[in-house]
A and B are shown apart, each in its own frame.
Chain A
Amino acid sequence: MVRATLPLCALLLLALPALAQEKKPPFRWGTDPTGGAPFIYQNADGQYVGFEVELAEYLAAKLGRESVMVDGTWANLPQQLNKAADVEKGVDVILNGYELRKDLVEQFGVSRAYYAYRVALVSRKDGGVSGWNDLSGKSVGALGGTVAHDYVRSHHPDADIQLSEDVANVFKLVNDKRMAATVQDSPAAVHFLKEYPDLTLAGEPVKAGYYVIYFRKADAELGAALDAAIADGLRDGTFRRIYDKYGLWNADQEELIGLLDKPWPPQLEGNKTPWPRLLGELLRAAWMTVKLSCASFPLAMLLGLAVAVGRVYGPRWVGVPCGVYVEVIRGTPLLLQLYALFYMLPVFVQTVSPDLAAWFTPFACGVLGLAINYSAYEAENYRAGLQAIPKGQTEAALALGMSKWTVIRRVVLPQAVRIVIPPVTNDFIALFKDTSVCSAILITELTRKYNELYNFNRDLIVELVVITAGLYLLMSYPLALVARWLEKRLSKS
């Protein structure tokens, strides 16, 4: 038996290298497909297209490997390099408008530049912002954690920066006059200027840096192969052909060819944030979290109370809509409600009154969205509380000649409030943490700020997590104490 299998094994061993040569592993490249045009986006047929898709296919062909797109969220793409390539969501490289940055170069292998980008300021033709020196106090949209974001923050600190993860949304907001301007990488600007004829470049785009491909430090061989492929592509006109399709080829890209003979990567300046500024920014973001919570929760309580009273005591034509309201609001995600309030509703309002649409600021929509969402939960708390008050209480008060509403206000509600304090404070603490969802509508609160800072300070991840969590605790724990004190005080009486 043993003797019989041995030659077979030897044969297999001999065949292995040959097999491996025939079948190379796929070229897995990480990207955020929601990132948008012209980098990567879905065409009308639902296929992914974009200059980076074509680039990846060119590179894969050069490497003799099959191109496999792996999706992730943009800010976390570098993390995907910390896992193996052949696991789920594992990647060989990340290729998605990632800039040449010192913090990333220190951690990962880096290819030669495949594109030289600028940061462009885009505004409406009819006003808004006229140039880079006109940003003071204006709302300026940017992608959180990008060099473009960092550029506005450091060069125009008095601009009101509103961060988003969705480029298309930001351009639409500028187009709809709900945002004064946006700072974007030049490829995105080129693409969306074609889509929105009312938008224009405000001032000359500023030279900012290079897009590069990151890979594992250990994969030096892959890196060399990528560099060779990029050099070929730039020199033989393949890149030009791809970029021309998207209107992206320009003099800056010609210069890339000259750079190919120079050492790479060039000396880079760090963009690390110093600690005092880090803490200051976190504290300011925490203050936004406090403002959002403290403005929205009282509203939620009031609204919830009205809905609960309508449901328990109102006639059918009030009670039924109140019930539907609770189920619809409870049954849909907060994120969706915020989107509807901030992106959808103003479109309708604008057709009626543009002045009114201006009221739908991120903060106003955040407060309103949280208030509406939590009002449904508060309504249910109050309903339980109202129904827990014995019928005899109502009857005794009615028998004194009080009106129905006086009975509710003076007899039932004061007793119900005591019952609902624990669940209501519980909800307040939950709302505190749910404010982070507001980052979806351009509000920089604590979680969003953490994400942004972590983006530029990837070596401080532990410190940032601990401080951010600590800040949340610092805000919610006193609340828990107040709640306990209230409960104790009321149970005594």
Chain B
Amino acid sequence: MIRVTDLVKCHGPARILDGATLTAAPGQLTALVGPSGGGKSTLLRCVNGLEQFQSGTVEAFGHTLTGGQPPTQPALQKLRRAVGMVFQQFHLFPHLTALENVMSGPVHALGKPKAEAEQTAKRLLARVGLADKAGARPANLSGGQQQRVAIARALAVEPSAILFDEPTSALDPQMVGEVLAVMRDLAADGQTMIVVSHDVDFARSAAVVHKMVAGKVVQSGPPDAVL
């Protein structure tokens, strides 16, 4: 369960999040929609601890962040192992192969043995349809392939939930489908996900849709009611 309560985040005089409140139930696909500049990315980053906020709380799987109180490093690490993130720009590590990218979390964040991490990574690459690209460097992969590796990388640390920030917005149209297919597959498997998406079709497959405008969640409910 992820519960965001009355989140307030300011940049100088600008209130980027202005009392945003939402919940995401475990095992469900939660969609976050709304006009650009509404604060969706900022909200996800707050949930992941990449941004700090002035007031409100974020609770995720037993970990809590409180506005105005800088979290400790170990607390942040624990939270992030529970809540993974997939970025619009993929941010794969360019000096590592696809396989090594996927292994990096288990090895360097969880301290798993290399052999075990490699097994997991191979399985996950196969799951996103890239078993044959294990040895490729990010520079030699298409955008769609890179984003699928990024998803496998997020899955590798076995997070309770994954946050997706416009995962297909940076892709050429013909590659959007392959990434969304992987995400649908995850959702069908009962992976808890919060997805920021402009893709109406995809948002329709969510259990709950939240609409954000000007730093507030203005509407929450089933897709038919919100979209």
Using a CB–CB cutoff of 8 Å, the interface residues on chain A facing chain B are 390, 392-393, 395-404, 406, 410-411, 414-415, 418, 493
Contact = CB atoms under 8 A, between A and B. Distances in A.
Interface residues of B, number: 28
Contact of B50 (A393, A399, A410): A399
Q: Which 10 A-B pairs have the closest CB atoms?
A: A396-B91, A401-B81, A400-B105, A401-B109, A399-B85, A392-B91, A401-B80, A402-B109, A400-B109, A414-B95
B91 A400 contact: no
Contacts of A402: 77, 104-105, 108-109
A397 B80 contact: no
A493 B104 contact: no
A411 B80 contact: no
Given A410-B104, A415-B95, A418-B95, A400 B84 contact: yes
Given A397-B104, A400-B109, A403-B77, 13 more contacts: A393-B91, A395-B50, A396-B92, A396-B150, A397-B108, A398-B80, A399-B85, A399-B154, A400-B105, A400-B157, A401-B157, A402-B105, A493-B137
Contacts of A415: 93-95
B174 interface: no
B153 interface: yes
Given A392-B87, A403-B73, A493-B137, A397 B110 contact: no
Contacts of B80: 398-401
Given A406-B108, A415-B94, A493-B137, A396 B77 contact: no
Contacts of A390: 91
Contacts, number: 67
Interface in B103-148: 104-105, 108-110, 137
15 contacts: A390-B91, A393-B93, A396-B92, A399-B85, A399-B154, A400-B104, A400-B109, A400-B153, A401-B110, A406-B108, A411-B104, A414-B95, A415-B95, A493-B95, A493-B137
B89 interface: yes
Contacts of B48: 399
Q: Which of A390, A392, A396, A414 has the most CB of B within 10 A?
A: A396
Contact of B91 (A395, A418, A493): A395
A203 B35 CA distance: 96
Nearest to B97: A493
A481 to B, nearest CB: 24
B105 A401 contact: yes
A189 B17 CA distance: 83
Contacts of B137: 493
A398 B104 CA distance: 11
Nearest to A405: B73
Q: Which of A404, A411, A414 has the most CB of B within 10 A?
A: A411
Q: Which of A390, A398, A399, A404 has the most CB of B within 10 A?
A: A399
Contacts of A410: 104, 108
Nearest to B94: A415
B17 to A, nearest CB: 18
B193 to A, nearest CB: 14
A402 B81 CA distance: 9
Contacts of A396: 85, 87, 91-93, 150
Nearest to B78: A401
Contacts of B95: 414-415, 418, 493
A242 B26 CA distance: 103
A238 to B, nearest CB: 80
A420 B18 CA distance: 43
Interface string B58-100: 0000000000000001001110110011010101111100000
Interface in B27-50: 48-50
A395 B80 CA distance: 11
Nearest to A404: B73
Contacts of B110: 401
Contacts of A414: 95
Contacts of A398: 49-50, 76, 80
Given A402-B109, A410-B108, A493-B137, A397 B87 contact: no
A411 to B, nearest CB: 6
